[in-house]
């Protein structure tokens, strides 16, 4: 029996998936461009139907890189950002790094006024990324998948979010409190840089 394989085009920035498509016309054009010179490829290119492109590809085919934008918003180097949380356009959207996670846990109190729970940290990174990349609303149930990238359980998510001044929850939808945006950004920046989020930068 002949083996049938489904071909997929994947665009990556280092290890981060930026876009992907299974459109046969797109991968044929890609193979044509790789195996011929640019003039020949341009003359023989097949025009794909835009309706067949994957949503992820169309999102990033506007000339802007959401990861660049997120790094700029946080004030961190793009490579550091990718290493810390690998922001991507597919669920769970964020993949936490154990070294950055361990560092931020050591640099923040576990109890008291300045304590930040695992749920709040994961939710803050996720909400800011999805807002920057225009990936739609963030829901409470998504936090568990983010924390699970490190095998961390999502404990008391509603209580943790209700007690956080920079996160708001409305009908299970999470968002950043507009009056506390800078604080949320500072928390995620501290995670990326492995520093104490309570220190002035």
Residue 93: predicted pLDDT: 97
Residue 105: predicted pLDDT: 83
Half-sphere exposure of 110 (CA within 13 A, CB side): 4
Residue ranges in the chain whose pLDDT is less than 50: 1-3, 38-42, 45-63, 201
Beta sheet of 167-170, edge-to-edge order:
138-139, 173-176, 167-170
Residue 112: predicted pLDDT: 55
Q: Let me know: does 41 contact 54? Beta carbons within 8 Å.
A: no
Residue-wise pLDDT for 73-132, tens only, equals 999 999 999 999 999 999 999 999 999 999 988 877 566 566 789 999 999 999 999 999
Count of C-beta atoms within a 10 Å radius of residue 98: 11
| Cα radius of gyration (the chain) | 20
Residue 50: predicted pLDDT: 40
Residue 154: predicted pLDDT: 79
Percent helix, percent strand, percent coil in the chain, to nearest 5: 50, 10, 40
């Amino acid at each position: 029996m002949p083996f049938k394989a489904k071909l997929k085009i994947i665009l990556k920035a280092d290890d981060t998936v930026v876009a992907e498509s299974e459109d046969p016309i797109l991968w044929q054009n890609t193979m044509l461009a790789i195996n011929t010179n640019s003039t020949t490829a341009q003359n023989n290119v097949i025009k794909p139907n835009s309706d067949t492109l994957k949503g992820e590809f169309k999102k990033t085919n506007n000339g802007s890189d959401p990861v660049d934008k997120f790094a700029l918003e946080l004030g961190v180097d793009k490579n550091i950002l990718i290493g810390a949380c690998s922001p991507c356009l597919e669920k769970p959207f964020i993949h936490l790094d154990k070294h950055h996670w361990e560092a931020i846990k050591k640099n923040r109190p576990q109890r008291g006024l300045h304590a930040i729970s695992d749920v709040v940290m994961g939710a803050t990174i996720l909400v800011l990324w999805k807002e920057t990349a225009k990936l739609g609303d963030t829901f409470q149930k998504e936090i568990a998948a983010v924390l699970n990238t490190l095998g961390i359980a999502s404990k008391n998510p509603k209580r943790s979010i209700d007690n956080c001044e920079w996160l708001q929850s409305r009908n299970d939808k999470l968002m950043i409190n507009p009056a506390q945006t800078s604080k949320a950004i500072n928390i995620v920046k501290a995670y990326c840089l492995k520093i104490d989020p309570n220190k002035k930068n």
